[in-house]
Amino acid sequence: MGAKADIFYVILGIVVVILLALVIKPIAMGETPRLPWGLEGGEDVMPTVTPAWVPTIPTATATPTPTPAPPWNGTPQKIGFVDPSTYQIPAGESRINMTTLPVNTSAPTRWVTYATIDGQWSGTTGIVRIPYPIWRLDYSDITTSNYEISLFNCQVMDAADPNRFVRIITLDFRDFLAMKDKPDLRKEQWGSTFHEGYHDYYFVINARCIDSYHLKIQVPEQYLGG
């Protein structure tokens, strides 16, 4: 029994020495181990391990360069209306409870019309870019045949941030009654100047008992053709 045990330990020692010489030592030295067994042709072949999932690195996309707006030629552009859902505004939503009084913004600067908004009903306009540092909204040309319940509400919205109300302009029956026979005073007072520009805006309009409105986006005359 003792002799068999000695033979077993001798064989085990030989196997350990072979593994140290052919496998562990080459690995420690950064070489490819050569196993004592091989495949066809006597060449040692390391098993190939295929990962179950290889991560995919997305290809970087270049940011498009914005195209500069051409110089204005002095001809007013018309701003049309769009579906309110374009700006995530539910159809029929009214925001007329957020109101401000009209602002008297008489100024010695001569204003020229850059764009216009014409309509009769409530609606949401498309986006217009104001490429100047200051502009004015003239809303003096609004007509109504009912001076008791008429209402006009215009919300000037920041197109880059639909949650930002730039300004809200509201005219109710009292304003229409007060300016009924005062066209010159209406033209002087029913306007609002914005000391911000180089920006995109759209307009949400709520109209009640309004026959027509003709809004004018105006800029100082010195910007004509600039």
- The structure's pTM equals 0.59
Tell me, yes or no, whether 67 lies in a domain: no
Tell me, yes or no, whether 59 lies in a domain: no
Distance between CA atoms of residues 203 and 162, nearest Å? 11
Q: Tell me: do 107 and 200 sit in the same domain.
A: yes
Tell me, yes or no, whether 107 lies in a domain: yes
Q: Tell me: do 106 and 215 sit in the same domain.
A: yes
Q: Tell me: do 193 and 106 sit in the same domain.
A: yes
Q: Tell me: do 94 and 195 sit in the same domain.
A: yes
Of the candidates 54, 55, 61, 87, the residue with the CA atom closest to the CA atom of residue 156:
87
Tell me, yes or no, whether 124 lies in a domain: yes
pLDDT of residue 81: 79
Tell me, yes or no, whether 130 lies in a domain: yes
Q: Is the pLDDT of residue 113 over 90?
A: yes
Of the pLDDT bands very low, low, confident and very high (cuts 50, 70, 90), residue 182 is very high
Q: Tell me: do 117 and 198 sit in the same domain.
A: yes
Q: Which two tokens stand for residue 57?
A: 């690195």
Distance between CA atoms of residues 25 and 15, nearest Å? 14
- pLDDT tens readout for residues 9-19: 667 777 666 76
Tell me, yes or no, whether 163 lies in a domain: yes
Q: Tell me: do 36 and 85 sit in the same domain.
A: no
The domain total for the chain is 2
Q: Tell me: do 36 and 91 sit in the same domain.
A: no
Q: Tell me: do 180 and 90 sit in the same domain.
A: yes
Asked if residue 158 lies in contact with residue 166, where contact means CB atoms within 8 angstroms, the answer is: yes
Q: Tell me: do 23 and 133 sit in the same domain.
A: no
Tell me, yes or no, whether 49 lies in a domain: no
Of the pLDDT bands very low, low, confident and very high (cuts 50, 70, 90), residue 108 is very low
pLDDT of residue 133: 92
Q: Tell me: do 207 and 113 sit in the same domain.
A: yes
The residue segments making up the domain with residue 110 are: 77-223
Q: Tell me: do 11 and 93 sit in the same domain.
A: no
Give me the CATH number covering residue 144.
2.60.120
**Helix then strand then coil, % of the chain, to nearest 5:** 20, 30, 45
Q: Tell me: do 11 and 88 sit in the same domain.
A: no
Tell me, yes or no, whether 56 lies in a domain: no
- pLDDT tens readout for residues 122-179: 999 999 999 999 999 999 999 998 999 999 999 999 999 988 999 999 999 999 999 9
Is 165 in a helix, a strand, or coil?
strand
